[in-house]
Amino acid sequence: MQKFEYRYPRIYVDCAVIFTTQENTITGRCTNISTVGAGASLSQPVPIGTTGLLTIESLTCALEVHARVTHSGLSGTGLAFTFSCNDERAALEQFLEKLPKLHRL
């Protein structure tokens, strides 16, 4: 099996996640996060291209950031952050600093 190499370093985590779209509120677990996106295991399939507000909650902090589904399948859902403002980008960086890290790729 070939190992996939991410362009941006990922932090592997296990955090609660809520993806809120115009039609649904979908819960799940965030499995990894970087400065440009996140991977998640969601409770239901979400079509590629769907946009919404992603809320990620760890034991020590929480983050709300706009995101778009980039892939969805048996291995999970990929979400790219679509920052609506510079404050969201700054909040992400603060979240990553506070987040308990299981390990980095």
pLDDT tens for each residue of 17-56: 999 999 999 999 999 999 999 999 999 999 999 999 999 9
Query: SS3 letters for the chain?
Result: CCCCCCCCCCEEEEEEEEEECCCCEEEEEEEEECCCEEEEEECCCCCCCCEEEEEEECCCCEEEEEEEEEEEECCEEEEEECCCCHHHHHHHHHHHHHCCCCEEC
The predicted model scores a pTM of: 0.86
